[in-house]
Structure 1
Amino acid sequence: MSGTVTPILSVFPTRGLVDNKFKVMVENLPPGLPVTLHSLHQSEDKDYWEAYGHYVSDDRGTVTVSEDSSIGGTYTGKETMGLLWSMRPVPGSRTGLRMRKMDIRTPMVVLISVYRGHVVEGFRERLPMASVVTERWYMAPGVQRIDVREGGVRGTLFIPPGPGPFPGVLDMWGGGGGLVEYRAALLASHGYVSMALEYLSPDELGTDIGLSYFEKAFTIIQEHPLVISDRVGICGLSLGTAVTLTMAAYSNLISPRCCVCISGSHVLSISESVFVAFQEVNKNVHKVRVDEQNRMIWRDMILPIPSDPSKKVDVGRIKCPLLLVCGDDDQNWATVESAEDIAKMMRAAGNEHLLTTVTYHDAGHLIEPPYTPHIKASNFIVQHTRQKVVLLWGGETKPHADAQEHSWEKILAFLRQHLYPCPSSAPQAKL
């Protein structure tokens, strides 16, 4: 580069919610110059993640990520957010990593840089032409975060800014256990009083978590003074789906207004307790497969889908709108087969009109909020045995990223439709 020409790299907005797109542009380059745009993030576990795309500046000396095609790198084509969703651990990292934001009070900080030429390795040893730091937040300004320790229930409540009242959402993750807050924080940023519920931590919660525990959690949201009491929904992923369906079908104490179930199944009822459900599914542990990389595939444990109604949640009893989200390359749980059986059961019961199913081709199990890096397999601790394994989640990077973006739009639209008294009045989240 000539000493008199300085490239200008801009990221707009530099600060935003994780589900908001940004615009990355490089100006003041010589026309026809090959460059590499690179993103770098250090996770809370101190692991480095990166993504990069190869571009050639146009006749104005400009590269615009949303309009120009990457011709190589961790993503190709016109991909506005490819620098986020195609992130992967840098070479030499620990194996089996999964990127998850655990402290949502701080942003995900990403360094975006532009390098001369089409670079594929050794980014940290090279001097970039320009760099910009961007912040990606799960929690919008004004959202309150409140620890919940009430009636034995453990979780975190997130309250949107403003006078309210607001609709509510009970948010549950899966068999990995612990308290996972980032989706609930993002839901609050979109105008819902949401509670991230902890329900699978044997050391603290005991071993007999049953339907009453989840009913208490739902009631805590429902009775909050800033919540519209008859407009509370439930969102669950994986094992959280089993909990959601069980509550919607069998509870005599609570009535969810709507339910969102991501990557889950009805072949696992928690009407007795979570651990009884584990014991039941573990009877099929002989069906677990291991691939050539020693990654465990669990999906066959619930196949074939039982014909005996007593061995699955009676979804014909559900009386509220239900959204199912699944990927057809889910290697952890047989979600597509489950969705088909759920539709069959609801059709027979006359409540299929309440069901919406979206299935994504080549998407895996971990369908998360938009632009979260796709993880095909990762380390996993089986909560009830404390065994450490590597699970194959499935999915291909680009289709899975598209599924995360599209499904999040569907989920937000579904919640607006069924939880907001006037859907058009739902606030638009932004920083």
Structure 2
Amino acid sequence: MAQTVRPILSVLPVRALVDEKFKVVVENLPPASPVTLHSLHQSEDKDFWEAYGHYMSDHRGTVSVAEDLSFGGTYTGKEPMGLLWSMRPVPGSRKGLRLRKMDVCSPVLVNVSVYSGHIAEGFREQAPLASALTERWYMAPGVQRIDIREKRVRGTLFIPPGPGPFPGLMDMWGGGGGLLEYRSALLASHGYASLALEYFSPGELRSSDVELNFFETAFSIVKDHPQVIPDKVGIFGLSLGSIVTIYLAAESTIIKPCCCVCVSGNHCFPPGETLRGIHQVLLENFHKVRVDENNHHIWRDMGLALISDPSKKVDVGKINCPVLLVNGLDDQNWPTVESSEDIAQMMRAAGKEHLLTRVQYPGTGHLIEPPYSPHFRATKFAMDSTKEKVILLWGGQTKPHADAQEDSWRKILAFLQQHLYYSTTPKAKM
């Protein structure tokens, strides 16, 4: 009797950075047979995330995720990376989960399997035809990870491989607080010495007396490092980190960032205040918070009240370096697009509009992450004043949000390369 040939599943490359594409191919299937490609990841919190697509093998008995159409599942159409960006918690998981890599010294492990037929559930109850494990890394081989605990500054500095020196970045996350290293590790993998800055711990915003000079000190730690080119240092911020980025670019007389990347931010910062001042103005407008039919908190209106108050806005006309604003048109957490328009008007009035680059994306929410990260429309968030956990509505739809993450990351890297590696930085008009 002829021996049955088992299907062969390959995922290449087996090891790659998280922003690199992979190719998933199944061979030795019966021609024109329905199969399901399934991806599974267990997070560091022990939650399971999955994605799947329905395919038909061709006349050779082959399925290529990069070239063939998915006819159903968590994504449809020709989507080479759909098995990653459409991941979601498996049925029965806790509500409001968000997937974030905390230990960047280990890979994100994704198990890809192929099953017979078009199935949408019960993946654990049946044996796959074939499986393959792939490693996705934020930190490339040779990247150095250095703990920073000096001059009150807490963070982690990532140095690219090679002799250096390299352009530098100060990297800040948002209002949840804590130390998040994965974006800085990825930036170092692309040639930037990046400091992941912990500027307050979770739940500390209401009591945080962090002032301008704290960020100036952190910036100087990057600038003065022997592996960093001192006049090629920028700032990268998301959400609250983006607010701080704009404030520093406009108000600091000590540091001169070479360029700034602001993702889902705005230009509201009480003049001369600390982070505690930001918490206070949020409390003053907290009555404007709405909830949707799922009891998810929508903060947009609270933000609209702030950007309508000139006394709460940073004078962005003082900014003298190139700025890239990245925003989603379906941001339900903050009025980032309205803020972007106002920033553009203010910089135009100051003769600085040539320094501003804006990109915005339809169907895209607040949490614009590195590419192929899952989309989080709503996740749990610890309220700073009460420590109560609510679910915040960030916005966005999975497919357009995934497209925006991929396109914006490409534009961010091009922007950083232009202004930190090349000498084409536009000068402010005096």
TM-score category, normalised to shorter length: over 0.9
Structure 1 position 296, deviation (Å): 0.3
Report the equivalent of 1:124: 124
Separation in 2 of the partners of 1:172 and 1:413? 20
Tell whether the 8 Å contact from 2:306 to 2:312 is kept in structure 1 after alignment.
no
CA positional deviation for 1:422: 6.5
Partner Cα separation in structure 1 for residue 359 and residue 167 of structure 2: 24
8 Å contact 2:317–2:350 — kept in the other structure? yes
Residues of 2 paired with 1:214 and 1:19: CA distance?
29
Q: 1:40 to 1:194 in 2, by over 3 A?
A: same
Cα 1:111–1:271, aligned 2, differ >3 Å: closer, same or farther?
farther
Query: Equivalent residue for 1:428?
Result: none
Kept in 1, the 8 Å contact 2:17–2:140? The answer is yes
In structure 2, how many angstroms separate the alpha carbons of the residues matched to 1:280 and 1:288?
13
Report the alpha carbon displacement of residue 308 of structure 1 after superposing the two structures with TM. 4.6
Unaligned runs of 5+ in 2: 425-430
**Does the aligned pair in 2 maintain the 1:173–1:240 contact within 8 Å?**
yes
Alignment-derived partner of residue 365 in structure 1: 366
- Give the counterpart letter for 1:315 in structure 2: V
Conservation of the 8 A alpha-carbon contact between 2:271 and 2:311: no
User: Equivalent residue of 2:285, what SS?
Assistant: helix
Q: After TM superposition, give the deviation of residue 388 of structure 1 in Å.
A: 1.3
Q: How does 1:374-413 map to 2 (within 5 A)?
A: 374-413=375-414
Determine if contact 2:271/2:312 at 8 Å carries over to the other structure.
no
What is residue 299 of structure 2 aligned with on the other side?
Answer: 298
1:226 aligns to 2:233 (yes or no): no
Name the amino acid aligned to 1:280. V
- Alpha carbons of 1:312 and 1:214: their partners in 2 closer, same or farther (altered >3 Å)? same
Give me the whole-angstrom Cα distance separating, in 2, the residues matched to 1:236 and 1:84: 24
- Measured against aligned partners, the alpha-carbon deviations of 1:266-313 in whole angstroms (never above 9, x if no partner) come to 123474201111101221111100011110000110215645532201
Alignment partner of 1:237 is 2:208: no
> 3-state SS of the aligned residue for 1:303?
helix
**Pairwise CA RMSD of aligned residues?**
1.5
**Displacement after TM superposition at 1:4 (Å):** 1.2
Residue of structure 2 in register with 1:88 after alignment = 88
Report whether the alignment pairs 1:55 with 2:59.
Answer: no
Distance 1:291 1:117, change over 3 A: same
Tell me how far apart the structure 2 counterparts of residues 30 and 337 of structure 1 sit (CA, whole Å): 54
Q: Do the aligned residues in 2 keep the contact of 1:166 with 1:226 (CA within 8 Å)?
A: yes
- What is the match of residue 165 of structure 1? 165
Distance 2:208 2:85 in 1: 37
- Deviation of the 1:201 alpha carbon: 1.2
Q: Percent identity?
A: 69
Label 1:329 to 1:203 Cα distance change in 2 as closer, same or farther (>3 A): closer
Deviations 1:160-185 (A, max 9, x none): 01110100000000001000000000
- How far residue 386 of structure 1 moved from its aligned partner, in angstroms, is 2.1
Return the offset for 1:243. Answer: 0.3
CA deviation vs aligned residue, 1:131-164 (integer Å, no higher than 9, x gap): 0000000000000101100100000000001110
1:26-425 residue pairs with structure 2 within 5 A? 26-201=26-201, 207-269=208-270, 271-304=272-305, 306-421=307-422
- One-letter code of the match for 1:228? I
Q: Which amino acid aligns with 1:20?
A: E
**Distance across 2 between alignment mates of 1:300 and 1:178:** 26
CA distance in 1 between counterparts of 2:18 and 2:270 reads 33
Q: For structure 1, list consecutive stretches of 5 or more residues without a partner in the other structure.
A: 424-431
| Distance (Å, rounded) in 2 between the aligned partners of 1:406 and 1:153 | 33
The Cα of 1:367 is off from its aligned counterpart by 0.1
Q: Distance in 2 between matches of 1:349 and 1:271?
A: 21
Distance of aligned partners of 1:422 and 1:118 in 2 relative to their CA distance in 1, 3 Å threshold: farther
Quick one: which amino acid aligns to residue 41 of structure 1? H
| Closer/same/farther in 2, CA of residues 63 and 271 from structure 1, 3 Å limit | farther
The answer to whether the Cα contact below 8 Å between 1:246 and 1:269 also exists between their aligned partners in 2 is: no
Shift of 1:259: 0.2
Q: TM-score, normalised by structure 2?
A: 0.96
Letter in 2 for 1:408: W
Contact 2:35 2:118 in 1 (8 A): yes
1:343–1:185: structure 2 CA closer, same or farther, 3 Å change rule?
same
Q: Distance in 2 between matches of 1:21 and 1:422?
A: 30
Calculate the TM-score normalised by the size of structure 1.
Answer: 0.96
Give me the whole-angstrom Cα distance separating, in 2, the residues matched to 1:115 and 1:202.
42
Inter-partner Cα distance in structure 1 for 2:314 and 2:392: 25
Q: 1:233 to 1:333 in 2, by over 3 A?
A: same
1:372 to partner: Cα distance = 0.4
CA distance in 2: counterparts of 1:81 and 1:38, whole angstroms: 12
SS in 1 for 2:371: coil
Question: Is the contact between residue 241 and residue 262 of structure 1 (CA under 8 Å) also seen in structure 2?
Answer: yes
- 1:429 aligns with none
Q: What CA distance in whole angstroms lies between the structure 2 residues aligned with 1:222 and 1:189?
A: 19
1:427 is matched with which residue? none
